[in-house]
Amino acid sequence: MNSFQEAATTDETLDPPDWTNVGALSHRILDDAIAYLKDVRERPVWREMPAEVRSFFSAPLPRSPAPVADIYDDVARNVMPYPMGNIHPRFWSWYMGSSNFTGALGDFLAAIQGSNLGGGNHAAGLMDSQVVNWMKQMMGFPASSSGTLVSGGSMANIIGLTVARNAKAGVDVRERGVDAMPKPLRYYASDQVHSCHRKAMEALGLGNRALRRIPTDAGLRIDIEALKAAIAEDREAGFRPACVIGTAGTVNTGAVDDLQALAKVAAEEHLWFHVDGCIGALIAIAPENRSLVAGIEQADSIALDPHKWLHAPFEAGCALVRDASAHRNTFAVTPEYLESTPRGLASGEWLHDYGLQTSRGFRALKIWMALKEHGVEKFGRLIDQNIAQARYLAELIEAEPALELMAPTTINIVSFRHRLAGVSEERLKVFNTEIMLRLQEEGIAALSDTTVHGRHSLRVAIANHRTRHDDLDLLVREMLRLGREIEAAAPGV
């Protein structure tokens, strides 16, 4: 045997030595996955991991092979029973979608196909562009606009705000940097804006102070007159107003800024108009409630999340930009090893020219498959359904003397708390936090908490296609039960 023949017999691969056994295991995993979703309502929303499960994740680095069936058994025993819980119908903690089985199949097929969506002439690249075009249609954006699929809302907002910075900098900021700008830029958003915008300001080299938080009205929407005053004040002080950020659904309460009024201010003041629509942008496809986000189609850029109200498995965000040239000019770089060719693999569009990632996963397939299966109209009806459920819960709360709403219920987020007579705000916070934690620990429901108008509040964000009205009835009953138990065990808490 010569050296070449010997090398051929010793070459290694990650492919299994026996595809038949792998096929059998794969069928078992698929059956388990179907049962996992089918029976999700019968399991606790969340449960604490016992010590032996936690210790499993302290095992040392594996240095030798193990049978894949044994590996799956470890996952089935130590991972699958202890999820975050967001696919459960009574998970309302944070604003997350609840996934769907077809989307999970899409993720599996995307991983099998293995394409890198940095660009190139292949089917996955065309599907990525198609899904972005569908998102434009949902938002009422022109066909000439551009967009990119990203990891989630934080990155989608960074994409839009970066294009805004470069468009308003007054210099070639890509070449010369932010220090060369003739005037410091100012961005404007309500005091309810998501924390990712602070991260964006810092990452863009502008600093947190570049983002002015404008006071909100009684409905927690940005105060338009206060915004105008802040812009005038900044111009007088030598700053350059650059961008106004409208929020289509705040995290705390679901408040939606007056997007039409913000579009008008932006046009009059020559500002970039960006909409953070990671919570509520997709209300634009909801037949009964789309008027709540009227004006979103006038934005210069929008951030939205298919992994929320389109229920794509994590992760899937999208940034849309009206001016495609400004978008591409913000990110495009063409090194010699990524030059286009007149035909062949490198003749397709380079999708990495529209964002920060050169290597990009095939996020589009899971979105594409679910939209094809259900149609966009059904997703719109499910959004209306969640909003109706939030209003139903608000009615239950208003009808129950022991509970109180803490803010208006605009879309699908309900902020409320359990009353407790004769105690301080601090003790009320302790009392309501204990109710929230017991709901989680007993596997009944997952809520979160926040601060509204300076007061502690519990928060239910209904973004789940599995939630039913009787789940909300159950929540109210269990809150009242726990409230009675906690107060009886420690009067006055």
Query: For residue 256, what are the β-bridge partners?
Result: 248
The string of DSSP letters for 356-415 reads: S-SS----HHHHHHHHHHH-HHHHHHHHHHHHHHHHHHHHHHHH-TTEEESS---SSEEE
Report whether 383 contacts 407 (CB < 8 A).
no
Specify the 3-state DSSP secondary structure of 193: coil
Query: 402-432 pLDDT, tens per residue?
Result: 999 999 999 999 999 999 999 999 999 999 9
Q: 383: which 2 tokens?
A: 């959004």
Question: Among all chains, which residue has been given the structure tokens 């065309």?
Answer: 126
At 3, is the pLDDT very low, low, confident or very high (cuts 50, 70, 90)? low
The residue to which tokens 């239950």 are assigned: 396
Q: What are the tokens at 39?
A: 């029976």
| DSSP conformational letter for 50 | P
What does the pLDDT look like over 320-375, one tens digit per residue?
Answer: 999 999 999 999 998 777 888 889 888 888 999 999 999 999 999 999 999 999 99
pLDDT score at 345: 86
Return d(Cα 204, Cα 92) in angstroms, integer.
33
Q: How far apart are CA 424 and CA 416, in angstroms?
A: 17
Provide mean pLDDT across the span 163-169: 98
Output the pLDDT for position 347. Answer: 83
CA distance 405 to 460: 11
Q: Is 111 helix (H, G, I), strand (E, B) or coil?
A: helix
Q: At 107, is the pLDDT very low, low, confident or very high (cuts 50, 70, 90)? A: very high
